[in-house]
Amino acid sequence: MRPDLFEAPDYYNLDELLTDEHKLVRDAAREWVKREVSPIIEDYAQKAEFPTQIINGLAEIGAFGPYIPMEYGGAGLDQISYGLIMQEIERGDSGVRSTASVQSSLVMYPIWKYGNEEQRQKYLPKLASGEWIGCFGLTEPDHGSNPSGMVTNYKDMGDHYLLNGAKMWISNAPFAQVAVVWAKNEEGRIHGLIVERGMEGFTTPETHNKWSLRASATGELIFDNVKVPKENLLPNKSGLGAPLGCLDSARYGIAWGAIGAAMDCYDTALRYSKERMQFGKPIGQFQLQQKKLAEMITEITKAQLLTWRLGVLRNDNKATSAQISMAKRNNVDMAINIAREARQILGGMGITGEYSIMRHSMNLESVITYEGTHDIHLLITGLDITGLNAFK
Ligand SMILES: Cc1cc2nc3c(=O)[nH]c(=O)nc-3n(C[C@H](O)[C@H](O)[C@H](O)COP(=O)(O)OP(=O)(O)OC[C@H]3O[C@@H](n4cnc5c(N)ncnc54)[C@H](O)[C@@H]3O)c2cc1C
């Protein structure tokens, strides 16, 4: 892969909306991605391996629990800093951002919000430092968009719970030490359980042959009569709203992350269009190529504004789930379209690993599907504005 020459576009001077702390956090993440992720990520994507050597660095830039209080090892930052970190990481690779999102929003968040003090003390500092990696088990082979239909279940055996079932498409599963697993109790109510690697009957086979998020490890979680200690149940929230609360936080981070992938594709295509000569001119001088680039920067700018405003609402605890759905859907769609157009600007070179665009493009096929598909988020907006439920 070529040297990383990334320069972030800021067409509407949005930096003026950021505090000094936001800019410090973002610039540290940006520099780290240039130094530690860009030089190796193409090789790891080609090998279909997660680069475990970057785990300590992710922890150091605050990517594990950016908004978790410092007393639990988190970075104690606000929601805009959290978003900016996700943007910068996904500028490098959506798979690396997925690992950070899962760790922060889907593992640390539920332990912090729904766990008791002992659970917070036991797990959060180790997850914040990257000593432990976590995963989040909601999706099942027969229940993806409709997780309420899940069949994974646990029974109260007196001194422990007995967990049975299977989860599929779980990011970080193959190497995670800890899994936050959503399962139904004997009354059919959904609860979160913390399952640890090494518990008898718990296995995590890896999912192979992915053409997308190749630098992120994905796997199954299989529970065959797993004895889970009673103290591993998250006591403070149950029902589908519990996992959906985690997804709100992760989807918000994805809305920012997608901007990072789009910025990288745009920046690469813009630079290429000024250097690549055809018919005696740089291809950026042709109107058709300018149309593509002008539309890209317009869409990126709109997404930046949407997401910044959402961050302000999140900081004030005012953002609704439907507002988050709109931003996730809009920004990932924006990024995938930009990746496709940017790839065309690079002609044949666009399909090679010399440039990041094809990798972003393939990664975004997962990002548009996970954490609620493109269509599901549209239906959430539809339900919000009409009051009429298309899911029933
Ligand atoms: C790489 C990757 C990593 C993932 N990581 C995790 C993870 O860490 N943890 C986790 O729990 N899950 C994870 N997922 C799972 C992901 O969230 C699901 O794939 C997603 O929710 C969609 O579920 P599904 O694949 O079963 O598709 P389905 O639900 O079967 O959907 C198939 C199609 O039908 C459409 N559809 C479904 N219902 C409706 C409806 N009511 N109206 C209209 N259209 C509908 C969908 O929009 C979609 O286009 C991951 C997925 C991938 C690909």
Mutate to test the pocket of ligand 1, among 94, 99, 106, 145 (most ligand atoms within 8 A of CB): 145
Rounded CA-CA distance 45/93 in Å is: 9
- According to the model, what pLDDT value does residue 392 have? 86
DSSP state of 111: H
CA-nearest residue, atom 53 of ligand 1: 366
CA-nearest residue, atom 48 of ligand 1: 373
Catalytic residue numbers, as ranges? 371
**Nearby residues of 31 by Cβ (< 8 Å), 6 or more positions away:** none
CA-nearest residue, atom 14 of ligand 1: 169
Phi/psi at 130 (5° precision)? 85, 0
CA distances from 305 to 55, 301, 312, 368 (A): 31, 6, 11, 20
Average of pLDDT values for 182-192?
A: 98
Rounded CA-CA distance 372/220 in Å is: 18
Other Cβ atoms closer than 10 A to 263: 26
Q: Which residue has the tokens 């391996």?
A: 49
Other Cβ atoms closer than 10 A to 61: 22
Q: Which residue has the tokens 């930046």?
A: 304
The tokens describing 170, both together, are 């779980």
Average of pLDDT values for 77-93?
A: 98
DSSP 150-208: ---EEEE-SSEEEEEEEEEEEETTTT-SEEEEEEE-TTS-EEEEEEETTSTTEE-PBP-
158: CA distance to ligand 1 center in Å?
A: 35
Q: What is the pLDDT of residues 27-55, one digit of tens each?
A: 999 999 999 999 999 999 999 999 999 99
Q: What is the pLDDT of residues 283-342, one digit of tens each?
A: 999 999 999 999 999 999 999 999 999 999 999 999 999 999 999 999 999 999 999 999
Ligand 1 neighbours (beta carbon < 6 A): 102, 135-139, 144-145, 169-171, 213, 218, 366, 369-371, 373, 375-376, 379, 391
CA-nearest residue, atom 31 of ligand 1: 145
Q: What is the pLDDT of residues 245-266, one digit of tens each?
A: 999 999 999 999 999 999 999 9
Percent of the chain with pLDDT over 70: 100
371: CA distance to ligand 1 center in Å?
A: 7
CA-nearest residue, atom 41 of ligand 1: 391
Contact status, residue 194 vs residue 178, Cβ threshold 8 Å: yes
- According to the model, what pLDDT value does residue 301 have? 98
pTM: 0.98
Indicate if the pLDDT at residue 1 is higher than 90.
no
DSSP 6-64: -----TT-GGGGS-HHHHHHHHHHHHHIIIIIHHHHHHHHHHT---GGGHHHHHHTT-S
Rounded CA-CA distance 208/347 in Å is: 30
- According to the model, what pLDDT value does residue 4 have? 96
Mutate to test the pocket of ligand 1, among 104, 370, 388, 391 (most ligand atoms within 8 A of CB): 370
Q: What is the pLDDT of residues 275-291, one digit of tens each?
A: 999 999 999 999 999 99
244: CA distance to ligand 1 center in Å?
A: 14
Q: What is the pLDDT of residues 200-236, one digit of tens each?
A: 999 999 999 999 999 999 999 999 999 999 999 999 9
